[in-house]
Amino acid sequence: MTSGHSAGSTPAAFLDDFATMSSFGATAAGGVDREAATADDGRTRRFLADWFDRHGLTTTVDAVGNMYGSIEFVPGAPYVLVGSHLDSQPTAGKYDGAYGVLAAAHAVRGIVEMVERGSLIPQFNIAAVNWFNEEGSRFSPSLMGSGVFIGKFDADEILKVTDRVGISVRDALSDIGFHGNDRQPEAVSYAEIHIEQGPILEQEGTTIGIVTANWAARKYSITVHGEQSHTGATHMALRHDALVGASKIVVAARELTQQFPEGLLLASVGQFDVEPNSPIVVPSKVTMAIDIRSSDPDVLEQAHEMLMAAIDKETEVRISIDTSALRPSTSYQIEGVELAEKAATDLGLSYRRMLTMAGHDSVNLKDIVPTVMLFVPSVDGISHSEKELTHDDDLLHGVTMLTETVARLVRGDLESSS
């Protein structure tokens, strides 16, 4: 084994950096509000770039705002990438994504020190990454930066995407100084650590989750078309109320989940806009976003059919499905899972294999390179909320685990095991 602890990243330094980082876009309730390419995302990014500088890493930024803090050990060799995302939901917790980016930065620094000490002979180079717009709240779709990195999205198309007030990704990134033109590093493998966003690790008292696969998900944007009229002067039989039609779909999404054993299907409408949204007007139009997920791809497909049937049944209004996207359940490479298990065993940390319900940039990266996804406990499983909490000792165990995992990737353990 390479190291029993994360050299170069003292617990105090990590917690201190995390506190500083969490001050950008801080909310009164203890969370953060820093959607992609906002001023507060920019402040957090400048903190990270400065951190990279101070720790001897070279900062580069690609066209879609992905940031890399890299170091070349082996001229011309590809890079082990390790990262997550700094952007957040509108009012969010301070751990989701940001923890993984800072942990990655500290892991890279720890590995540089191992190499300098001679306790690690690198086969590959290494870079910490902050992926642009993982959350997809300001700009849709989510997992944007990593999606461009793996070639799933076209950079020029992504740069044209606009937010709700018409600002493009290109302009928003330019405004904060992060529309770069640096080349993407060539990846050989990827690692990411994230809070679990579920209650399993905390309930079991397990320190580390090693992710084997992601839940399948379907996301829809839907428009309900009604007919605008006077709320006080239109006979009920003549109404085409978009809000009534939309409400039935909201309830149908909830009722879908009751058709399956508890916990097998999750469904919600998370976004809902009513037009013209005036007190004396029967609504003419509702746009909404539906998100359904399952650990079982067959259940997801059944739920999809049932949702489509509920939409077809509607007669008072017309419903159009503007976009419908499937994120299939796919597996992380088993050799990466086993590498992480060995690392946890050697460090004496308790661990278990598990699925991820939420999407992560690692779901994209694993399509092109062997990828290790790690979790640390989330208190009560709360996430996308200012109440999100992971205890300091869990944060620190995660940094140690990530450092050890990435050290093995840099040493070439994956290649020698296969």
Q: Which is nearer to Zn ion, 83 or 122 (by Cβ)?
A: 83
Which three-class secondary structure state does DSSP give residue 35?
A: coil
Residue 404 makes contact with Zn ion by CB under 5 A: no
> Are the beta carbons of 81 and 365 closer than 8 angstroms?
yes
Q: Name, in order, each residue with C-beta under 8 angstroms of 162's C-beta and a sequence gap of 6 or more.
A: 139, 168, 169
Question: Could you tell me which stretch among 22-30, 88-96, 112-120, 262-270 binds Zn ion (CB under 5 A)?
Answer: 88-96
Site string for Zn ion, 268-287 (x = CB under 5 A): --------------------
Q: Is 27 left (phi over 0), alpha (psi -120 to 50) or beta?
A: beta
SS3 sequence of 133-198: CCCCCCCCCCCHHHHHHCCCCCHHHHHHCECCCCCEHHHHHHHCCCCCCCCCCCEEEEEEEEECCC
Question: Which structure tokens are listed for 405?
Answer: 């995992």
Query: Measured between alpha carbons, how far is residue 122 from residues 5, 79, 326, 413 in Å?
Result: 18, 11, 38, 10
Q: Which is nearer to Zn ion, 222 or 363 (CB)?
A: 363
| Residue 40 in contact with Zn ion, rule: CB under 5 A | no
Q: Which of 96, 386, 394, 413 binds Zn ion (CB under 5 A)?
A: 96
> For Zn ion, how many residues bind (rule: CB under 5 A)?
2
Task: In whole angstroms, give the CA distance from residue 157 to residue 105.
Answer: 30
Rounded to a whole number of angstroms, the minimum distance from the CB of residue 77 to Zn ion is: 29
Least distance in Å: CB of 30 to Zn ion? 18
Q: Does 93 bind Zn ion (CB under 5 A)?
A: no
Q: Which is nearer to Zn ion, 97 or 398 (CB)?
A: 97
CB of 133 vs Zn ion, minimal distance in Å? 11
**What token pair was written down for 388?**
């999100």
3-state SS assignment for residue 217 = strand
Distant-in-sequence contacts of 161-166, Cβ < 8 A, 24+ apart: 163/138, 163/139, 164/138
Instruction: State which residue, 244 or 355, has the beta carbon closest to Zn ion.
Output: 355
Task: Compute the least distance from the CB of residue 85 to Zn ion, in Å.
Answer: 6
Q: How far is the CB of 196 from Zn ion (least distance, A)?
A: 11
Residue 192 interacts with Zn ion (CB under 5 A)?
no
163 is a contact residue toward Zn ion (CB under 5 A): no
To Zn ion, the closest distance from the beta carbon of 99 in angstroms equals: 9
Task: Give the range of 20-28, 32-40, 92-100, 206-214 binding Zn ion by CB under 5 A.
Answer: 92-100
Nearer to Zn ion, 141 or 412 (CB): 141
In the complex, minimum distance from the CB of residue 72 to Zn ion, in angstroms, rounded to a whole number: 28
Q: Is residue 370 close enough to count as binding Zn ion by CB under 5 A? A: no
Binding part of the chain for Zn ion, among 35-43, 89-97, 115-123, 284-292 by CB under 5 A, reads 89-97
Question: Residue 22: which residues within 8 A CB-CB, separation 6 or more?
Answer: 32, 94, 98
Q: Helix %, strand %, coil % for the chain, to 5?
A: 35, 25, 40
List 65, 69, 83, 97, residue binding Zn ion (CB under 5 A): 97
CB of 337 to Zn ion, least distance (A): 20
Q: How many CB atoms lie within 10 A of CB 348?
A: 8
- Closest residue to Zn ion in the complex (CB): 97
Under the rule (CB under 5 A), what is the footprint of Zn ion? 96-97
